[in-house]
């Protein structure tokens, strides 16, 4: 398949990036308990910024909404206020919140540290593949015993 | 056949004529090309997309889940690649999914490969709704079988929901998902069976067996999934069928005798070319085909080509899906293994005690990867933002499984494909516009399937159950928009796929379905394409009479 070309979307502005980083840090925060970074970790956040091409416009809109709800800039609010503002945003703009969630999750859940913490090998599926239990089809005996269930069409 | 071409007025370059021109290299285009190849006619297929490279498929990279939402997204509007044309589906609760390239939708399909049931061809006679098909199960049976051999189908013989079918190789693994749901279905006394799957469980025909990558939905890097670029096309090309990629057909031209003379297309350099042909076969799917026919309107055919019935683009059927998923205390298959698994036909046939006519099948499905677990978890309100995110995610990840119901969508003329008055593709050809709504019958069927689905999940021991009906991003079965029939006033093509109006124009894709049945359509689309090819071969001396 041909790679997408001529995607013209501009990069996020400095201030948009700061808001986005604050949002994803709230969404998936660092956890000492599980030993994982937050989605605002420098490497993960850089990955997010590189990967939002198709969602650039929707993300820009979401960030504007969030700053509007913050009556200024989200990053200027105290952390608890930020969390409350983001809760309002999620309640009022579910679709736009979904775009931010997808953008963050796509990059967060491929980071080696995160993969290790959920017991996934840090490798692509191909070429090693995976094992799936074959199973025992004698489990179908009751279905066989019941007999034919399709209708005669003649 | 006369071919007085009306192309002088166009600036298009003119190619040498061919005997057969096929438009679209997907599921049906590949099958018809392969079958006609033995005639030694000169056959050319024009495909707007390109060949895929298995080494590019998402499952070869660490970012597999993300890429399946970008260049390999199932929505053409999301992908927006040069091969894609926009589909305006704003006026439909179900959004369109496809793949435009060699293999068509089979590059992305899950390869769930059920046949229609005998009763599906007789819905008017049996249930008094819609129309009977002009062909029946018995007629298609040898073509189903041939198609299974060509695509490589794994299954288990003896399914009591079908007339006897041969099994070529063992079914796809049951896994924990199949065992859990199979046990639950036995407890409820309901039918289930391993799904027929166009997925190799053994090496076959030079192709390697499935290694459970779990990424059938964004292209099989292993080549184990029966996509037509690795099945039919390999053989058709060896038999000297010519496949021209990056060639997008804009319209079909006709002469004063009302016969098709060939097609105009844009090549990779955006140059317009005229390709003369004796026979034109359309295989562009239930949206692409009406789009070209409507765009081929002319003084002779003011309402679009082959459209004297007014039915081109109408009766669009999409198979509304409901999705039911649950979470289990024990670990399930997760992202490992083909997402499809087993099926149930318990609620397939009409039962007058229910509040709807016709029925649906269940397709049981394994789990999802971490990215999708997080996205759907947050969307469903099961995974919060903040502190609780990690613990909630870990409760869901690798612990989910579920099912979709595939509901029979009855034909309704108001559900339709038209040309979008505003949007165009990169060649300036009008985009397709979808107007589609769910009927009351379908809504009742969806509701029934959700209730029964929840019952199954509970019997299987699931908790934290989520449902979606209709599933919005599931418009992948595109049927009915150029239906077949014996009455030219009520159908677009006849009982062997030839247009009633244009006697050298054939349609072989999902557009010709009369009704949708309640199962995935591709094995039937391909069986029909092989059947029509067979009719063309056996009627070759009287084809245009
Ligand atoms: C994500 C997904 C999952 C699916 N899962 C299943 C499943 O499990 N089981 C099942 O049975 N089905 C499934 N399907 C549906 C299946 O892919 C289709 O039923 C099947 O591919 C339709 O065959 P077709 O020949 O009608 O059209 P397609 O396979 O869609 O082929 C049409 C071809 O025509 C080309 N084309 C269109 N317009 C033009 C033009 N103007 N000029 C040149 N070329 C053109 C397109 O690029 C395309 O390659 C799935 C589809 C998707 C997208
Ligand atoms: S599960 Fe099997 S068929 Fe599907 S992508 Fe993997 S190897 Fe291919």
- HEC letters along A20-59: HHHHHHHHCCCECCCCECCCCCHHHHHHHHHCCHHHHHHH
B285, B426, B428, B431, best to mutate for ligand 1 pocket (most atoms within 8 Å of CB): B285
Counting Cβ atoms within 10 Å, is residue A92 exposed (0-12), middle (13-18) or buried (19+)? exposed
Going by pLDDT thresholds of 50, 70 and 90, the confidence category of residue A154 is confident
Q: In this complex, do B221 and A147 lie within 8 Å of one another by their Cβ atoms?
A: no
Query: In this structure, are strands B18-23 and B272-282 parallel, antiparallel, or unpaired?
Result: parallel
Q: What is the mean pLDDT of residues A115-131?
A: 95
Ligand closest to Cα of A126 equals 2
- Which residue out of B81, B105, B385 would a mutagenesis test of the A interface target, given it has the greatest number of A Cβ atoms within 10 Å? B385
Residue B18 has pLDDT above 70, yes or no: yes
**Quick check: B94 pLDDT over 70?**
yes
Q: What CA–CA distance (Å, rounded) separates B457 from B190?
A: 13
pLDDT in tens, A72-95: 999 999 999 999 999 999 999 999
Which residues partner with B322 through β-bridges?
A: B405
The Å distance, Cα B348 to ligand 2 centre, comes to: 28
What span, in angstroms and rounded, lies between the C-alpha atoms of B135 and B250?
31
Percent of chain B with pLDDT over 90: 98
Fold of B4-367+399-540: FAD/NAD(P)-binding domain (3.50.50)
> Could you give phi then psi for residue B228, rounded to 5 degrees?
-70, -15
CB-based contact B282:B289 (threshold 8 Å): yes
**A:73-102 residues touching chain B, CB 8 A cutoff:** 83, 86-87, 90, 98, 101-102
Per-residue pLDDT band at A10 (split at 50, 70, 90)? low
- Per-residue pLDDT reduced to its tens digit, B189-247: 999 999 999 999 999 999 999 999 999 999 999 999 999 999 999 999 999 999 999 99
Interface membership of A5 toward B (CB under 8 Å): yes
Token look-up 């999750």 returns A105
Cβ neighbours of A26 in B, within 8 Å: 385-386
pLDDT beyond 70 at B8: no
Answer yes or no: is pLDDT of A7 > 60.
no
What whole-number distance in Å separates Cα of residue B69 and Cα of residue B221? 17
Residue B5 has pLDDT above 90, yes or no: no
Q: Which residue has the higher pLDDT, B10 or B206?
A: B206
CB pairs under 8 A between A and B: 210
> Which of B390, B395, B460, B515 is the mutation pick for testing A, counting most A CBs within 10 A?
B390
- Tell me the mean pLDDT in the region B258-285: 98
Mean pLDDT of B113-131: 98
Task: Average the pLDDT over A131-152 and give the result.
Answer: 96
From CA B475, how far away is CA B217, in angstroms rounded? 14
**Which element (helix H / strand E) includes B278?**
strand B272-282
Ligand nearest to the CA of B57: 2
pLDDT in tens, B302-316: 999 999 999 999 999
CA of B403 to the centre of ligand 2 (A): 19
Across the interface, do A129 and B118 touch by the CB < 8 Å criterion? no
d(CA B71, CA B69): 7
Q: Is B46 in the pocket of ligand 1 (CB under 6 A)?
A: yes
Q: What angle do CA B374, B380, B385 make, to 5 degrees?
A: 55
- Residue carrying structure tokens 């799904």: B195
Q: How far apart are CA A48 and CA A52, in angstroms?
A: 6
Give B96's strand partners. B475
Length of chain B: 545
A85 contact partners, CB below 8 Å, separation of at least 6: A66, A69, A70, A74, A77
Beta carbon of B216 within 6 Å of any ligand 2 atom: yes
B218 C-beta closer than 6 A to ligand 2:
no
pLDDT of residue B10: 57
Query: At how many degrees (to 10) do helices B440-459 and B175-188 cross?
Result: 100
Residue B281 neighbours by CB distance under 10 Å = 29
pTM for this one?
A: 0.96
Looking at the CA of B23, name the nearest ligand.
1
- Note whether A6 contacts B: Cβ–Cβ < 8 A: no
> Helices then strands (H, E): number in chain A?
7, 0
The enclosing H or E element of B342 equals strand B340-344
Burial letters A107-141, b for 16+ CB under 10 A, else e:
bbbbbeebbebbebeeebbbeebeebeebebebbe
**Is the confidence at residue B170, as pLDDT, over 70?**
yes
Residue A99, C-beta contacts closer than 8 angstroms, at least 6 positions apart: A55, A58, A59, A62
Two tokens, residue A140: 């179908």
- Could you tell me which residues come within 8 angstroms of residue B348 by beta carbon, excluding any fewer than 6 positions away? A149, A150, B117, B161, B359, B360, B361, B518, B519
Phi, psi of B218 (to 5 degrees): -135, 25
B84 lines ligand 1 (CB under 6 A): no
Residue B227 CB less than 6 A away from ligand 2 = no
**What is the DSSP annotation of B148-217?**
HHHHT-B--S--TTSS-----SPPPP-HHHHHHHHHHHHHHT---EEPPBSB-SS-BTTBPPP-----GG
| Three-state DSSP class for residue B545 | coil
Protein residue with its CA nearest to atom 4 in ligand 2: B216
**Which residues neighbour B112 within 8 Å (Cβ) at sequence distance 6 or greater?**
B195, B196, B197, B340, B343, B363, B520
Sketch the domain layout of chain A as residue ranges.
14-123
pLDDT digits (tens, 9 = 90+) for B63-93: 999 999 999 999 999 999 999 999 999 999 9
Q: Which residues pair with B360 in a beta bridge?
A: B407
**Size (chain A), residues:** 154
CA B387–ligand 2 middle distance (angstroms): 36
Relative to beta strand B272-282, strand B13-14 is parallel
By alpha-carbon position, which residue is closest to atom 2 of ligand 2? B210
């Amino acid at each position: 398949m041909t790679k997408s070309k001529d995607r013209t979307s501009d990069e996020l502005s400095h201030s948009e990036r700061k808001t986005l980083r604050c949002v994803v840090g709230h969404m998936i925060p660092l956890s000492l308990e599980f030993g994982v970074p937050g989605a605002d970790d420098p490497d993960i956040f850089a990955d997010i910024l590189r990967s939002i091409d198709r969602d650039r416009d929707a993300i820009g809109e979401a960030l504007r909404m969030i700053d509007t709800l913050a009556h200024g800039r989200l990053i200027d609010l105290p952390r608890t206020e930020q969390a409350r503002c983001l809760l309002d945003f999620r309640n009022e703009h579910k679709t736009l919140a979904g775009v931010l969630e997808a953008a963050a999750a796509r990059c967060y859940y491929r980071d080696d540290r995160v993969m290790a913490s959920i017991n996934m090998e840090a490798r692509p599926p191909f070429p090693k593949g995976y094992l799936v239990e074959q199973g025992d089809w004698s489990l179908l005996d009751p279905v066989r015993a019941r007999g034919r269930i399709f209708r005669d069409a003649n | 056949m006369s071919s007085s071409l009306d192309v002088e007025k166009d600036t298009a370059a003119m190619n040498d004529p061919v005997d057969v021109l096929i438009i679209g290299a997907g599921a049906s285009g590949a099958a018809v090309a392969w079958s006609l190849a033995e005639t030694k006619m000169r056959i050319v297929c024009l495909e707007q997309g390109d060949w895929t490279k298995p080494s590019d498929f998402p499952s070869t990279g660490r970012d597999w889940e993300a890429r399946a939402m970008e260049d390999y997204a199932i929505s053409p509007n999301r992908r927006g690649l040069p091969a894609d044309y926009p589909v305006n589906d704003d006026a439909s609760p179900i959004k369109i999914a496809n793949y435009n390239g060699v293999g068509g939708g089979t590059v992305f399909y899950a390869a769930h490969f059920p046949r229609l049931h005998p009763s599906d061809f007789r819905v008017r006679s049996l249930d008094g709704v819609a129309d009977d098909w002009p062909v029946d199960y018995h007629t298609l049976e040898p073509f189903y079988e041939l198609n299974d051999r060509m695509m490589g189908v794994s299954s288990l013989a003896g399914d009591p929901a079908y007339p006897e079918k041969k099994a070529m190789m063992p079914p796809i693994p049951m896994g924990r998902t199949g065992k859990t749901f199979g046990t639950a279905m036995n407890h409820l006394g309901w039918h289930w069976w391993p799904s027929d799957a166009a997925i190799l469980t053994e090496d076959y025909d030079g192709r390697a067996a499935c290694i459970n990558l779990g990424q059938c939905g964004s292209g099989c890097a292993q080549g184990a999934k029966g996509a037509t670029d690795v099945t039919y096309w390999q053989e058709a090309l060896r038999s000297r069928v010519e496949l021209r990629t990056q060639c997008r057909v804009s319209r079909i031209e006709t002469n004063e005798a009302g016969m098709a003379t060939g097609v105009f297309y844009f090549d990779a350099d955006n140059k317009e070319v005229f390709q003369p042909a004796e026979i034109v076969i359309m295989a562009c799917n239930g949206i692409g085909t009406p789009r070209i026919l409507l765009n081929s309107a002319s003084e002779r055919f003011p309402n679009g080509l082959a459209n004297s019935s007014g039915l081109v683009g109408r009766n669009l059927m999409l198979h509304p899906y409901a999705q039911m998923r649950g979470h289990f205390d024990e670990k399930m298959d997760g992202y490992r293994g083909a997402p499809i698994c087993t099926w149930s036909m318990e609620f397939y046939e009409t039962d007058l005690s229910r509040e709807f006519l016709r029925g649906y099948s269940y397709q049981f499905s394994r789990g999802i990867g971490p990215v999708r677990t997080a996205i759907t978890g947050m969307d469903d309100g099961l995974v919060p933002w903040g502190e609780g995110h990690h613990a909630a995610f870990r409760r869901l990840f690798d612990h989910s499984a579920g099912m979709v119901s595939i509901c029979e969508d009855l034909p309704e003329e108001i559900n339709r494909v038209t040309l979008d008055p505003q949007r165009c593709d990169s060649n300036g050809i009008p985009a397709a516009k979808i107007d589609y709504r769910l009927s009351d019958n379908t809504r009742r069927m969806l509701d029934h399937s959700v209730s029964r689905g929840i019952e199954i999940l509970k019997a299987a021991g699931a908790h934290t159950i989520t449902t979606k009906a209709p599933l919005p991003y599931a418009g992948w079965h595109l049927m009915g928009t150029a239906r077949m029939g014996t009455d030219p006033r009520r159908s677009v093509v006849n009982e062997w796929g030839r247009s009633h109006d244009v006697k050298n124009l054939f349609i072989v894709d999902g557009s010709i379905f009369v009704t949708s049945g309640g199962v995935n359509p591709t094995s039937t689309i391909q069986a029909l394409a092989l059947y029509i090819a067979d009719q063309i071969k056996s009627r070759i001396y009287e084809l245009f009479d």
